[in-house]
Structure 1
Amino acid sequence: MHMPKKGLRAFGIAESYAGRTRSNLAGVVMRKDLRVDGFAFGSVTVGAMDATDTILKMVRDLRRRDINVILLSGCVIAWFNVIDPGRVARETGIPVICVTYEESDGLLEDITRHFPDDAARISAYRQLGERTAVRLHTGLTCFIRSWGLAQDDAARFCDDFTCEGKIPEPLRVARLCARNLPGAAGTDDDTF
């Protein structure tokens, strides 16, 4: 991947709760010059394990071959719905970077407390591996995991797509979209 290229495109995916049983996903295709170039939407079940399939469907629904990286706002969404970024990278052929924004000890203790007999969910979380802290040009730090892309390239990609703060622009815009979908927290409609 040629990082300086202006036409480099990221597909950023973020979520917003849409009630007790569903959570909305919004995906934004954005070029490196910060032009928005497409959208895709999905919905996952709160507390289930369907996030990976939904993300794969969102990528397929775009019907695009020009996306260079998929950015995920977190690998665990919708009340412990664990995404398998390695599977997303393998099945799409597109590298995946998972971005989080706070230092933490992780979610293993919470997952095992809420889902003590769910070996698949616990294993999926453990397979995510450790996060790497990335100091951005803004002076702030985000935390990343990457699949199909060297950690240094993933860090540079996130830095290049961050204008201010610590959230890369495709994820910031996707989060805004997800929050404004029908049924999202803060809206009046509880359907999607």
Structure 2
Amino acid sequence: MHLNKQGVRILGIAESWTGRERSILAGVVMRGDLRIDGTVLSHLTIGGMDGTDAVISMFSSLKRSDINLILISGAAIAWYNIINPDRIREETETPVIIITYEDSEGLEDAIKHHFPGDEERIQEYQKLGSRDQVHLKTGHTVFLRRSGIPPETALHVLDRFTMDGRVPEPVRVARLIARSVMRSLLTGI
């Protein structure tokens, strides 16, 4: 990955959901100079297990060979819909970073409570392994799960794409788009 190029491209993915059956997933392709270079939308099932497939489908639908990294906001989105970064990296041949923002003891007990007997979901969650705690140049702490990218490079990417706070621009913009689409669906616009 050539991170010093202005034209480096990251696909940032974030979601928005309310008590509906589906979640809106938005993706933003952003260049190193912070210009938006593409967008993509998808949806996934609240409480389902289709998050990984949705991310892979979004990447594939863009039909681009110039995306250098996939950055996903959250590992258990849309009410415990577990994302598998290794499978995404293998199928897209693109490194993956999953970023989360809160320290926690993990979600295994909550998954067992809400999805009793769902061994597939527990196994997918356990495959995620532990998170790396990193400190951004902005002074904020975030937590990462990575596939196909070393920790130092991951931190460099996040520092480059985080202007302030703790949310990198590609996922910040993707989240804004997802929320806007969800709002439009709820109001019938």
Distance 2:47 2:9 in 1: 31
Give the C-alpha shift of residue 35 in structure 1: 0.4
Measured against aligned partners, the alpha-carbon deviations of 1:113-168 in whole angstroms (never above 9, x if no partner) come to 11121111000001101111111111111111110111111111111110000000
Where do residues 171-186 of structure 1 align in structure 2 (5 Å cutoff)?
171-183=171-183
Distance 1:182 1:134 in 2: 31
Q: Give structure 1 stretches of 5+ with no counterpart.
A: none
Q: Which amino acid aligns with 1:30?
A: M
Q: Higher helix proportion, which one?
A: 2
Q: Give structure 2 stretches of 5+ with no counterpart.
A: none
TM normalised by structure 2 equals 0.96
Where do residues 86-165 of structure 1 align in structure 2 (5 Å cutoff)?
86-165=86-165
Cα contact 1:13–1:71 (8 A) shared by 2: yes
Give the C-alpha shift of residue 18 in structure 1: 4.6
Distance 1:175 1:182 in 2: 10
Distance 2:181 2:120 in 1: 31
Cα contact 1:14–1:178 (8 A) shared by 2: yes
Match of 1:36 in 2: 36
Q: Which amino acid aligns with 1:62?
A: L
Cα contact 2:47–2:80 (8 A) shared by 1: yes
Distance 2:188 2:127 in 1: 36
CA RMSD of aligned residues (A): 1.5
Distance 2:146 2:184 in 1: 28
> Identity, % of aligned pairs?
50
Match of 1:75 in 2: 75
Distance 1:183 1:90 in 2: 34
Measured against aligned partners, the alpha-carbon deviations of 1:17-70 in whole angstroms (never above 9, x if no partner) come to 054211000000000110000000000000110111111110011000000000
Aligned residue pair count:
189
Deviating above 3 A after TM superposition, structure 1's stretches of 4 or more consecutive aligned residues are 182-185
TM normalised by structure 1 equals 0.94
Cα contact 1:16–1:184 (8 A) shared by 2: no
